[in-house]
Every structure is written in structure tokens, then in C-alpha cells.
């Protein structure tokens, strides 16, 4: 597993240990992490604080040219909300840890010329699978079921 996906996985594990939903993300520009985050819906009582949104928020306000030169790493396939943010800011590349437990809007990203790579990392699959078994009601709430 590369260092950036490892950092996203560390964020996911942090969220899990905080009692939240174990999804992590990092925003990378010029080979360095400029924003990192994890799903904080439970911890902050937030409707929108998914991992990707948290990483973007923690990166702070950036010029459009910076977003257009970034890669977003996320442990799980992005939902419609996070996909919208990726498209809004013109992030050209998304690396996904896994999409077996949930497949988000990958087709939409690809249709808008975003490069999407799905790694199927065992550690990402195992963490989400364990969480879904342990907290199905929380998982269903997060994905709007």
C-alpha cells in the first residue's frame, strides 16, 4: 500500500476508534499531503462531514489551480455528495481503497474525465466490513438507507 493510501487508512482507523464511521481521506498536491480527514458525522453531529469533505475542509481555501493539480485518496468509493465536491473543485484524480462494501459515483467521475483508480486494499475492505457488521444501523444512516 502506498504512503498516501496508508495515511487515508490511518484516518479511517482514527474515526473508528472515536466511535465514528471508518472512512479516511487525504488530499495530495506535489507529492505531499495538504489536507487529511475522516468521517466525523457521529463525532460532530454533522450532516456533511464525510472523509473527503473533511480532508477538503482541513486543506483550507485553495486556488482552483491547486485543486486541479491534486489527487484525492479515499478508503471508500465516494458518495454523491463527495463526488460533487471533487467535480466542483476540478480534482483530476481519485484513488479509492475499495469499492466492494460500497460503490459510489465512480461512473459519474469517469464520465467527467476524472481518473479513478480502485485498489481493493484488503485492510480497507476488512475495516469497513467489520464496521458494517458491528454497526449496520449507523452505516445505513450514513449512506441514506
Which of the residues are catalytic? 52
Number of H helices, E strands in the chain: 8, 5
DSSP state of 48: S
List, in sequence order, every beta strand (DSSP E) within the chain: 24-29, 32-38, 70-76, 93-98, 115-118
CA-based angle 39:100:14, to the nearest 5? 25
Give buried/exposed letters for 77-90 (b at 16+ CB in 10 A, else e).
bbbebbbebbbebb
Length, in residues, of the chain: 145
Amino acid at each position: 500500500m502506498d504512503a498516501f493510501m496508508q495515511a487515508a487508512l490511518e484516518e479511517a482507523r482514527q474515526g473508528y476508534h472515536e466511535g465514528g464511521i471508518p472512512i479516511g481521506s487525504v488530499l495530495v498536491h506535489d507529492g505531499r499531503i495538504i489536507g487529511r480527514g475522516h468521517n466525523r458525522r457521529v463525532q460532530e453531529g454533522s450532516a456533511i462531514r464525510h472523509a473527503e469533505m473533511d480532508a477538503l475542509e482541513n486543506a483550507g481555501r485553495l486556488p482552483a489551480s491547486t485543486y486541479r493539480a491534486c489527487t484525492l485518496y479515499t478508503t471508500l468509493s465516494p458518495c454523491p455528495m463527495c463526488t460533487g465536491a471533487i467535480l466542483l473543485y476540478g480534482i483530476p484524480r481519485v484513488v479509492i481503497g475499495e469499492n466492494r462494501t460500497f460503490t459510489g459515483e465512480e461512473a459519474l467521475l469517469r464520465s467527467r474525465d476524472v481518473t479513478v483508480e480502485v485498489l481493493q486494499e484488503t485492510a480497507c475492505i476488512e475495516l469497513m466490513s467489520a464496521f458494517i457488521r458491528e454497526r449496520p444501523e449507523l452505516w445505513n444512516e450514513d449512506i441514506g438507507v
